[in-house]
Amino acid sequence: MRIQNMNVKMVIILFFTGFLSLSSSAQKTFKNSRNTILLTDNWKFAKDIKEDASSSSYNDSKWSTVSIPHDWAIYGPFDKKWDIQITAIEQNGEKIATEKTGRTGALPHIGSGWYRKTFTLPQFQQGKRALIVFDGAMSEPEVYLNGKKIGQWGYGYSYFYIDITKDIIIGSKNVLAVKLTNQPYSSRWYPGAGLYRKVSIIVKDTESFEQWSTFVTTPLVNNNLATVNIKTNANGTNCSMVTIIKDAKNNIIATAKSPKSVDGKFDQTINVTNPQLWSPETPHLYTAVTQLISNDGTLKDEEITKFGIRSIKYEPEIGFSLNGKTIKFKGVCLHHDLGPLGAAINKAALKRQLTILKDMGCNAIRSSHNMPSFEQLELADEMGFLFLAESFDEWAKPKVKNGYHRFFEDYAEKDIVNLVRATRNHPCIVMWSAGNEVPDQYGAEGLKRAKFLQDIFHREDPTRPVTVGMDQVKQTMASGFGSLLDIPGLNYRVHLYEDAHKAFPQGFILGSETASTVSSRGIYKFPVKQYKNKQYDDLQCSSYDLEACSWSNLPDEDFVLQDDKPWVIGEFVWTGFDYLGEPTPYDEKWPSRSSYFGISDLAGLPKDRFYLYRSRWNTTDKTLHILPHWNWKGREGEITPVFVYTNYESAELFVNGKSMGIQKKNNATPQNRYRLMWNDVKYEPGTIKVVALDSNGKAVAQNEIHTADTPYKIVLNPDRKTIKADGEDISFVTVSVVDKNGIPCPLADNQLKFEVNGAGTYRAACNGDATSTEMFHKNTMKLFSGKLIVLVKATKKAGTITLKVSGNGLQSGIINLKSTN
């Protein structure tokens, strides 16, 4: 169905999809039909060279040899000179321009870089067709093959492909050269640099399916029957199409054959009985094998499409439902960088992020403010996350001097077309976002652009609605901008939710961006009060979770709206993890170079706020978390409030065995409703213990923390002890320090060294400190609040990997990992 403008009487019914596998099938060869070759190893790279390196005869022997995905800037060094900006951030309500440092991560991403790759295509011959596919190239890629410019693109987050059939040299070496240019003032956060996502070549028959044309939907879904519809386009005449549907165990459960098509368009419907429905709790996936068959029975092309069967619906005053069940989005926003890996995509790092979010009870992700990677969507399908796929941070009006507005007129439609066609088969995606806090929210031109973009999304995918993250809520109420959208998304502005609900006709509101509470893991400040834009001399933020920005708020204020207003359909918290750049509230202070917004820090280590969300979102597991730590030498006898984040309604606190009383959640304030707080506790070293109580006052669980002695021993805890010997997989090892009694030392800041031997290599480390200028790839780093993460990367050889972590005066930590084929 085509989505029209919504009103209060209108119900939007939307249905599933799955995904077209690109790079995941890179090593598979289809019989005489299709090969996908990943261009991964042995690229040559150089930055800021003066000459033109596009020629096939150019001598690149002295360049660095790198593997793709690659981010040239993440290797640093950190320096304020890389991204000093004199600007007023309008989105933050600033009126006067000031010097900003660290806004884009204080890493050397600005400039140009060349990548060169020599390859052969033994699969290519007369009668074949070849496409080169870029999953993302930062930024403004210019692509040359054998010295000839064959294409270019503007947007660094966009996927795009180029037909290179006429330019391939058959039976000989080919030289691919890519020039990338990152302009200054082109981003509001760390964009990364280089070929940071995968590059592949698809070789297929001339008669074949068109790239990204296959569209799988399920227009009918119930527990007994699902109708699967497959539409696609093919180049070729008088070819038929056969589709085989397999379940998760690879059993064939349905087949269909469409007759010969003259115009190359196919529209196929297949029934699946007793379908296993896709949801965050049961992320069941099916596979469609779609084959193009010629007159003589020859297999001309074959595509593998994974998909899920599900139905979605958005209803006024009710909200969002999946497979007939009303649920709310318990979501987070995520930037694309992976902390110490920078923008370079890595599936193990992505999976670790999603595993952490799953434990928190998160069920949804918003890609902010850019197009998601294919790997992220594949994992969201497999692990069960609803997805809000976003496109742009700018339209035609600029936020930064060299932002996307330069490309909007020429590229906006092409970028949306590629986004939707390449990803619309993912069952995780339940809505699209056309933009975030765009200045075009003002005026008639902005209204025209919003309709233009939304119409493109509807044309390419009539099964999902479109939203925009709006921060100028009063303006969008007055202009009709918010009424035009399928889903009105509010960024913050909790005080305007009621007004917006009355003004907008859709009958519901999405918290498209919420909270933006700031904190530093393991750092606590006194006195404990609510603050806006609070700054401290150490450039950290308090982990009592009571500090926000002038334009943002505390988590509890959003919780109230989510719980009390059925027409609020969910939230996407800013952000799930800290990210490089945007060090608010210290964007005028050096050396802050990464955000404080994350529920987990840049290393992926949970902050206290993680447990606040977990206590509310994770309805399967119990949470009983105490803060702060209990090491406050010099604060003896001073007020040191104790908070407990828990899904129990009440608890009793003990300090060295003495009761501090029972606290019960209540509605006095939003914080009292969602936290247990003992605000008058005086510090004395020893043990604090919390005992959770059931409705009858019976003790049902307890937790305690202790004052630590001096640091004694290093402890290592990997997220996985066995990884794949594929040259890409990573084990994330949490490094902490304990005293002689095994008690964690939360104040430890020892300088540590890392050594990896065997079938693995040292990849990076990160301690989550937004002010640290230590480079991630060096094999030494200081602990921050007693912890850091070491990344151990597999080689392509199976075997044992040994990690040793040492520090002066500490007993070393040693752990053996295993890599397997």
Catalytic residue set: 437, 513
Q: Give the whole-angstrom CA distance, residue 588 versus residue 102.
A: 8
State the residue for tokens 């010969």: 260
Q: Give the whole-angstrom CA distance, residue 771 versus residue 544.
A: 19
CB 705 within 8 A of CB 688: yes
Give kind and range of the element (H or E) at residue 500: helix 497-503
Q: Give the whole-angstrom CA distance, residue 253 versus residue 288.
A: 10
Residue 653 phi/psi, 5° resolution? -105, 140
Structure tokens at 527: 């006195």
Residue 581 to residues 83, 96, 241: CA-CA distances in angstroms? 10, 21, 49
By DSSP bridging, strand 319-322 and strand 311-315 are antiparallel
Give kind and range of the element (H or E) at residue 556: helix 555-564
Crossing angle of helices 608-617 and 347-360, rounded to 10°:
60
State the residue for tokens 């987990």: 600
Report the amino acid identity of residue 93.
G
CB 97 within 8 A of CB 85: no
Q: Give the whole-angstrom CA distance, residue 413 versus residue 392.
A: 12
CB 519 within 8 A of CB 574: no
Write out 572-640 in H/E/C secondary structure.
Answer: EEECCECCECCCCCCCCCCCCCECCCCCECCCCCECHHHHHHHHHHCCCCCCEEEECCCCCCCCCCCEC
Is residue 537 left, alpha or beta, with left meaning phi > 0 and alpha meaning psi from -120 to 50? alpha
Q: Give the whole-angstrom CA distance, residue 777 versus residue 76.
A: 9
Q: Give the whole-angstrom CA distance, residue 765 versus residue 716.
A: 13
* DSSP structure class, residue 11: -
CA geometry: angle 518, 519, 523, nearest 5 deg: 160
Q: Give the whole-angstrom CA distance, residue 651 versus residue 641.
A: 15
Is residue 323 left, alpha or beta, with left meaning phi > 0 and alpha meaning psi from -120 to 50? left
Residue 314 phi/psi, 5° resolution? -120, 120
